[in-house]
Amino acid sequence: MSDEARPPRTAVVIPAAGRGVRLGPGAPKALRALNGTPMLVHAVRAMAASRAVSLVVVVAPADGVAEVKHLLDDHALPERTDYRVVAGGDTRQESVRLGLAAVPEDVTTVLVHDAARPLVPVDTVDAVIEAVRDGAVAVVPAMPVTDTVKEVEPAEKPGAPEQVVATPVRARLRAVQTPQGFDRATLVDAHATVALAGEGATDDAGMVERLGAPVTVVPGHEEAFKVTRPLDLVLAEAVLARRRANDGF
């Protein structure tokens, strides 16, 4: 096939190298089971469910690369989907950068998806990919926020009272999810030039924004929520149980 005839390739980088401190003691978050299957396997399957995705790069804890490889070898993916496992870094931003470095040159669209969002529906994944293929350089799925959000002057001691600085207009706020989709060159450029101190960037689109490039929002989905605290595990298992019940009828 000539280069021109080849369809654009889409790869997904899944950062899964976090410990899951807020979830409490136990295995690294991505390896925690939801209804008997590790969260990471749910997340990889959610990406592989899109026909457009030909490669999934999983970024594993540095001491867990072999374990994650075995895990993915043991759980069937569609034949069209390849996977690779690479070692992650100390921050999410570093892990994404290491995952991006393992994406082959011929990939034009890259998605970044948190292993901690195992239940995102395939329609959301496809909507993000379509928006990138239609010309957007950075695309984020997002939901309107339901709580009113306050900006505060953070207290030095956790739990201490804090002063409110501002109340942004709720109707203008969106809570962003993943997968976030990018023109590959733009995301690589962002990771090469935007270095955030401390925790690093919690959001890849935010790094592209800092380059001055436009970021587009498409509708997210309530089932794309991030598993962060123990109650989120209960919610995730309830969503899976509802899906199973609905499939049965």
Question: Interface residues with Mg ion (CB under 5 A)?
Answer: 18
Minimum distance of Mg ion from residue 19's CB (angstroms):
8
Q: Which is nearer to ligand CTP, 203 or 209 (CB)?
A: 203
Which residues contribute to the site for ligand CTP (CB under 6 A)? Answer: 15-22, 29-30, 59, 88-92, 95, 114-116, 226, 228
Q: Which is nearer to ligand CTP, 116 or 233 (CB)?
A: 116
Report how far residue 204's alpha carbon sits from residue 161's, in angstroms, rounded to the nearest whole number: 31
Report how far residue 249's alpha carbon sits from residue 246's, in angstroms, rounded to the nearest whole number: 6
Q: Which is nearer to ligand CTP, 8 or 121 (CB)?
A: 121
**Token output for 108:** 């034009």
Strands 151-153, 180-183: pairing is unpaired
Decide: residue 134, CB within 10 A, 0-12 exposed, 13-18 middle, 19+ buried. Answer: exposed
Place of tokens 């733009």: 186
Q: Of Mg ion, ligand CTP, none, which one sits near residue 116, judging by CB under 5 to 8 A according to partner kind? A: ligand CTP
**Token output for 152:** 């505060």
Minimum distance of Mg ion from residue 225's CB (angstroms):
15
Minimum distance of ligand CTP from residue 29's CB (angstroms):
4
Q: Which is nearer to ligand CTP, 167 or 202 (CB)?
A: 202
Minimum distance of ligand CTP from residue 244's CB (angstroms):
24
Question: Which residue in the shown chain puts its C-beta closest to ligand CTP?
Answer: 18
Nearest one of 214, 216, 46, 56 to 130, comparing CA atoms = 216
Could you tell me how far CA 155 lies from the centroid of its own chain?
A: 29
